[in-house]
Structure 1
Amino acid sequence: MTLQGKTALVTGGTSGIGRAVAMKLAHRGAHVIVTGRDKRRGEEVIAEIDAQGGNARFIAADLANFDDVRRLAGAAADVDVLVNNAGVFPGRPTEQTTEKDFDLVFDVNVKAPFYLTATIAPRMAARGGGAIISISTMAATIGMSGLAAYGASKAAIEALTKSWTAEYGPQGVRVNVVAPGPTHTPANAAMGEMFDALTATVPARRGADPDEIAAAVCFLASDEASFIYGAVLHADGGRVAV
């Protein structure tokens, strides 16, 4: 499953699932552009990739800032693989979700990937192909208390994936989604016992390692997924099936 000669952009690539995706894409031979808000963490990821013989560079960008989104889109316009991974998920009841919270969720989780795709996908199409993989969540499919805005933002990404498949699929651009279940990341570690309770609802009876989600992304980025268009790959230990 080589990605030799490909260039990939991974948003939110400095931690958690994004970091694992960047590492695995580099291991498969891709030149990886890692982006995130934290320059120090970004440089650590690049150093680790370089130490393992990979090829990567870092672009600092805050996807809540539309000027940064435009700048990133211009700097990475000619990538072969786009991974829309960056996301925010303030977990609180609907009545406690402020307008600022809501706008942040949709700016980062929907608006930023929309405009990155709007810049990058047509250039992929002009070259005859490419792969776009967005990270969703099981909360886009099943109702989860306290995650209304987050789940809605990811459901929007899944709907956009269908539209993008209709728009760009005929030119060879494959647009797909990976929808993880509970995953062991620094952000989820703060959930404590709540995370354990969540994993107890999963048929696999455990949370995912970020590398397992990254493997799904790499598969969809590779030529081995050459006939997969517009799919939602549920990497959730079976949660949405029960």
Structure 2
Amino acid sequence: MTTTDFAGQTALVTGGTSGIGREVALQLGAGGAHVVVTGRDAERGAATVRSIVEAGGSADFVAVDLAEAAAVSHLADEASRLGGGHVDVLVNNAGMFPFGPTAEVDVETFDAVMAVNVRAPFTLVAALAPAMADRGHGAIVNVSTMVASFGMSGMSLYGSSKAALQLLTKAWAAEFAPAGVRVNAVSPGPTRTEGTAGMGDGLDALAATTPAGRVSTPTEIANAVVFLASAAASNVHGVILPVDGGRLAV
């Protein structure tokens, strides 16, 4: 991509202060977009914005708890305001990923995961996609997971929430493509981020089940997200793009 691929566009990246989301935000900023970064940690948010600005881009940080419905609706309004009245790229990256037996999941955890992983993207798309459609262009990229496509012990809650997001990706593609809005998703495999650090050797063991046999980097996932958001994917709609070392191929 050139440094002007996203010039004049506003991009909203949820969970953009660390890991995959931060790398997506940095790449979109380098591509010329004004990036609205969200997260719960103001210090990490400020650091991400600073990195984008120091590289020659522009960005703002909005602190938000995506588990709160009213906060998500406010985020959509605030992102539009910060973007000069428009959001052209939406990256639904933020997610909760608790692992463990189904019988140990309590109601509070279930509700929180579904709120962040499903309701928040749904709310943001409902708020922002119609305006994209009115303008005749826009790109939405959802970040899913390989365990949304096959069963794995301990992944029932996380996998099912992301499976819902994958179906929404296809439904939204069918709904908004006629108006020029592209909706796609990236399905990462094991990726080394701050969020997966607690998995320890388990992350490498999971990666060993893939043909490539290694853990992905946030940059590798972000490359796919930014591709789908860019004009290089101008007629790509409703795709779930695996970046998982070939796990879904076997």
Q: Which residue identity lines up with residue 55 of structure 1 in the other structure?
A: S
**Deviation for aligned residue 1:187:** 1.2
Query: Does residue 57 of structure 2 align to residue 54 of structure 1?
Result: yes
Query: Does residue 242 of structure 2 align to residue 239 of structure 1?
Result: no
Structure 1 stretches lacking a partner, 5+ long: none
Matches of 1:92 and 1:187 in 2, distance apart? 16
Aligned residues: 242
**Deviation for aligned residue 1:174:** 0.2
**Deviation for aligned residue 1:133:** 0.2
**Deviation for aligned residue 1:6:** 1.2
Aligned residue among 112, 124, 139 for 1:131: 139
- Aligned partner of 2:186 in structure 1 is 178
**Deviation for aligned residue 1:51:** 1.1
Q: Which residue identity lines up with residue 189 of structure 1 in the other structure?
A: A
**Deviation for aligned residue 1:206:** 0.8
- Aligned partner of 1:153 in structure 2 is 161
Structure 2 stretches lacking a partner, 5+ long: 81-85
The DSSP-based 3-state class of the residue aligned with 1:186 is coil
Matches of 2:249 and 2:126 in 1, distance apart? 33
The DSSP-based 3-state class of the residue aligned with 1:175 is strand
- Aligned partner of 2:117 in structure 1 is 109
TM-score under structure 1 length normalisation: 0.98
Query: Does residue 48 of structure 2 align to residue 45 of structure 1?
Result: yes
- Aligned partner of 2:213 in structure 1 is 205
Q: Which residue identity lines up with residue 184 of structure 1 in the other structure?
A: R
Q: Which residue identity lines up with residue 117 of structure 1 in the other structure?
A: V
Matches of 2:79 and 2:28 in 1, distance apart? 16
Q: Which residue identity lines up with residue 72 of structure 2 in the other structure?
A: V
TM-score under structure 2 length normalisation: 0.95
- Aligned partner of 1:20 in structure 2 is 23
Matches of 1:236 and 1:27 in 2, distance apart? 25
The DSSP-based 3-state class of the residue aligned with 1:14 is coil
**Deviation for aligned residue 1:120:** 0.3
- Aligned partner of 1:118 in structure 2 is 126
Matches of 1:83 and 1:231 in 2, distance apart? 14
**Deviation for aligned residue 1:184:** 0.7
Matches of 1:3 and 1:144 in 2, distance apart? 38
The runs of 4+ residues in structure 1 deviating greater than 6 Å are none
Q: Which residue identity lines up with residue 241 of structure 1 in the other structure?
A: A
Matches of 1:48 and 1:165 in 2, distance apart? 33
Matches of 2:118 and 2:203 in 1, distance apart? 25
**Deviation for aligned residue 1:196:** 1.3
- Aligned partner of 1:91 in structure 2 is 99
Query: Does residue 19 of structure 2 align to residue 11 of structure 1?
Result: no
Aligned residue among 198, 223, 227 for 1:219: 227
The DSSP-based 3-state class of the residue aligned with 1:76 is helix
Matches of 1:197 and 1:29 in 2, distance apart? 38
Q: Which residue identity lines up with residue 48 of structure 1 in the other structure?
A: S
Q: Which residue identity lines up with residue 68 of structure 2 in the other structure?
A: N
